[in-house]
Amino acid sequence: MPLVVMGGGSLLTGLVMAAPFARASPLEPAALVTLAATVVGGLAAVVGASELSRPLLRAVTTNPSPRPD
C-alpha cells in the first residue's frame, strides 16, 4: 500500500509539473510508451530492492542482542 500511495503521488506530481511542457508539444504514442516503460522499470526496481533487502532485515530482527539499559 505505501508503494502505491508514494508511487502514485510521485507520478501525479511529475505529470502536473510537466504539464506546461506537454502543452507545448502534444503527447505522442512514443512518449506514452516511454512513460509506461519508466513507471514499470521504477516499480520493478523498488520491488526488487525490497526483496533483496528482506533477508538482511530478517537477520537483523530475528535475534536482536539485549540492550544494556
Instruction: Retrieve residue 61's grid coordinates.
Output: 530482527
Reported pTM: 0.60
Q: In one letter, which amino acid is 45?
A: A
Could you give the CA distance from residue 67 to residue 64 in angstroms, rounded to a whole number?
9
pLDDT digits (tens, 9 = 90+) for 35-52: 788 888 888 888 888 888
Query: Over 18-63, what HEC string results?
Result: HHHHHHHCCCCHHHHHHHHHHHHHHHHHHHHHHHHHHHHHHHHHHC
Euclidean distance between CA atoms 25 and 55, whole angstroms: 46
Percent of the chain with pLDDT over 90: 0
* Structure confidence at residue 27 (pLDDT): 66
Is residue 13 classed as helix, strand or coil in its secondary structure?
helix
